[in-house]
Amino acid sequence: MTSTITRTPLTVSDRCDRCGAQALVRVHLESGSALQFCSHHFKEHEVRLRSVATDVQDEQHQLKNA
C-alpha cells in the first residue's frame, strides 16, 4: 500500500511530543503516524529518527527568522 504524505506547515500550536515546546520538526513514520519535536529533542534523537522515518518535515529554519 502506498500512502501520500500531506505536509501542512507547523504552527505555534504544534507542540513537541517530548516536552511540549513549539514543534519545528514533524517525523512521518511508515505506520502513517507522525511525531513532532522541538529543535532540541529532534537534534538529540535525529540519527535514530531519520533511520525509521519515511519523511522528515524540518522547519528549524524558522528559528533564524524569529
- How many CA atoms, within 13 angstroms, populate the side-chain half-sphere of residue 52? 12
- Looking at residue 33, its pLDDT comes to 94
- Inform me whether the pLDDT recorded for 3 exceeds 70: no
Q: Where are the domains of the chain?
A: 25-65
What residues form DSSP beta bridges with 36?
A: 26
pTM of the shown model: 0.88
The string of pLDDT tens digits covering residues 4-21 is 777 899 999 999 999 999
Q: Which residues of 10-44 are buried (b: 16+ CB within 10 A; e: fewer)?
A: beeebebebeeebbbbbbbeeeeebbbbbbebbee
The string of pLDDT tens digits covering residues 7-56 is 899 999 999 999 999 999 999 999 999 999 999 999 999 999 999 999 99
